[in-house]
Homo-oligomer: A and B are copies of this chain.
Amino acid sequence: MLNYSTSEENYIKAIFHLQQDEGTVTTNEVAHELSTKPASVTDMMKKLKTKKLLYYQPYQGFRLSPEGKKVALLIIRRHRLWEYFLAEKLKFSWDEVHEVAEHLEHVSSKKLIDKLDEFLGFPRVDPHGDPIPDENGKIETSPQVCLLDLPLNKPAIVCHVGDQSNQILELLNHKNIGIGTRMEVKKKFDFDNSMEIKIRQQLPFTISEQLAKNIFVRYGT
């Protein structure tokens, strides 16, 4: 496994995240994701292509090669282990871990990461509920359901938040919703797709479609 620059790693990670939904990723999408310019993206795509990390034909978009995906997963492993460390050991709050982990993730000593993993007790998900790849880049793909699609009165556990902006985290914090929170959907309102949800030992309250769209759960009590 070769070493890649911080910049290269950020591009690889961005493409990995973007291609989860659609299979192929465009220049503009990456430029927007990384707050850079399309011309810079094209430059980097040419470079990553020569390194065989992605497939790329001019004007046709691109997607990671198997090798590229593996690199991406190892970066994500580093990122999520550091997030777990920051939240669990250093008592960072949920919404602060991401930014610091963005920097720590580029320290690429395999031994460091494997020992960190061991020290943390081989956690399976990070503080946002996202699964942590193992040292071979294998990731647990567990069936997540969007809160919008959750049937009424079915107990579920929050396991992931789509958008991770500060605004949404502030709102979730205010409403006492976090990873691991148990809830049921009590009512759905077709008018605006808002829904009423119930959390143990709390009165039911309403959340918007916008918010529900970004909350993902697993079945379970």
Contact = CB atoms under 8 A, between A and B. Distances in A.
Interface in A38-96: 86, 89-92, 96
Of the candidates A90, A99, A111, A116, the one having the most CB atoms from chain B within 10 angstroms of its own CB is: A90
A138 interface: no
A115 B91 contact: yes
Contacts of A103: 107, 109
Query: Main secondary structure on chain A at its contact with chain B?
Result: helix
A139 interface: no
A100 B107 contact: yes
B107 A90 contact: no
Contacts of A91: 115, 119
A133 to B, nearest CB: 19
A121 to B, nearest CB: 12
Nearest to A107: B103
A103 B99 CA distance: 18
Nearest to A105: B107
B109 A90 contact: no
A107 B104 contact: yes
Interface in A85-142: 86, 89-92, 96, 99-100, 103-104, 107, 109, 111-112, 115-116, 118-119
A112 B100 contact: yes
A93 to B, nearest CB: 11
A166 to B, nearest CB: 15
Interface of A: 86, 89-92, 96, 99-100, 103-104, 107, 109, 111-112, 115-116, 118-119
Given A90-B116, A103-B107, A107-B107, 15 more contacts: A89-B119, A90-B112, A90-B115, A90-B118, A91-B119, A92-B111, A92-B115, A99-B109, A100-B107, A100-B109, A100-B111, A100-B112, A103-B109, A104-B104, A104-B107
